[in-house]
Amino acid sequence: MMQRAFFNQIEQHFPTQTDFLIGLSGGVDSVALLHLFCQLRQHKPLNLRAIHIHHGLSPNADSWAAFCQTLCEQWQIPLSVQQVQVVGTQGLEANARQARYQAIQAQIQPNEIFCTAHHLDDQVETFFLALKRGAGLKGLSAMQAVSFWQRFTIFRPLLSFSKAELLTYATVEKLPWIEDESNANTQFDRNFLRNDVLPLLNQRWQQFNPMVARASQHCAEQQQLIEELLADELNQRADFAEQSLNIDGFEHFSLLKQQQLIRLWLERYQQPMPSKALLKQIIQQLIFAEKDKNPQVKVGQKMVRRYQQKIFLTEESPLDSLFQREVNIKDFIELPHNLGTLIRTADSLICKKSHGTHRLLLPVELRNQPLVVQFTAPSKVKCYGKPHREEMKKIWQAHKIPVWQRHCTPLVFFGEELVGILGEEK
Helix, strand, coil percentages (3-state) for the chain, rounded to 5, are: 40, 20, 35
* 25 belongs to an annotated ligand binding site: yes
**What strands lie across the sheet with 356-361, from one edge to the other?**
332-334, 341-344, 348-353, 356-361
Query: Which residue from 377, 401, 400 is spatially nearest to 389, judged by alpha carbons?
Result: 377
**Antiparallel, parallel or unpaired: β 302-307 and 310-315:** antiparallel
Do residues 112 and 104 make contact, with C-beta atoms less than 8 angstroms apart? no
**Integer Cα distance of 131 and 110 in angstroms:** 35
Return the SS3 of 225.
Answer: helix
Do residues 152 and 104 make contact, with C-beta atoms less than 8 angstroms apart? yes
Half-sphere exposure of 200 (CA within 13 A, CB side): 5
Query: What is the DSSP track for 8-74?
Result: HHHHHH-TT--EEEEE--SSHHHHHHHHHHHHHHTTS--EEEEEEEE---STTHHHHHHHHHHHHHH
* 27 belongs to an annotated ligand binding site: yes
* 372 belongs to an annotated ligand binding site: no
Return the SS3 of 103.
Answer: helix
* 63 belongs to an annotated ligand binding site: no
Annotated binding residues, written as ranges, equal: 25-30
Annotated binding residues for ATP, written as ranges, equal: 25-30
